[in-house]
Structure 1
């Protein structure tokens, strides 16, 4: 791998990790919603059965668990934002580096491509080439006339 490919590989790796973290965050949010639904439904059942104390302990434990999870999500989001900024900075750097390197490299378009896209190149048609070749035969150079 050349340097540009290595940098691009690193950027792709970071991007993939960020995408995976986003999916994990969504799954955690879905689990929180599910727990809230279950606790809400469990409250009415606890009231009927006289188990409010046990239910409130379950609510407290669940809340502590999710507070910790949400704190982690917030930290991950901050890291994600930071990583996103790093990715953008690296991509801009690589792009600028490539542009700088390319400015100093000479690359000529092959004639069929240049003919198609660049009007500054004037190419002779086959007829014009044959006409010029015919003119050379009409006016031989001095070396040919001396023989």
Structure 2
């Protein structure tokens, strides 16, 4: 019987917790993650290659005015407008293509806002009065 208890004790003593009792209560320390050098740059280069934009980031020399300008925070929004006024966007985009200036919807809206901001109060009031009022909210889905 004593021999069996000795075997049990020795088997427990070989367990990792019993070899070093200090490790039993101490929490395990995790090693801090270390990024490989240049990992961020290599990710950007891989993304640029995948998008077909390889080498464009290096084309601009350091110290130019483009590097000095701070990034502008962009805002995403949605709105509702009549279909015929929405068709004007396509018409204006086609006109811009005629003089070889591809344009996005957001660029047209931004240009229009700049023009409206340049108007005096009476002109802005008459421009807004020319618009027909729209119901607020999302349009109902047609079934």
Category of TM-score, reference length = shorter chain: under 0.3
Rg larger for: 1
The structure whose RCO (Cα within 8 Å, separation 6+) is larger is: 1
Q: Select the structure that is richer in helix.
A: 1
| TM-score, normalised by the number of residues in structure 1 | 0.26
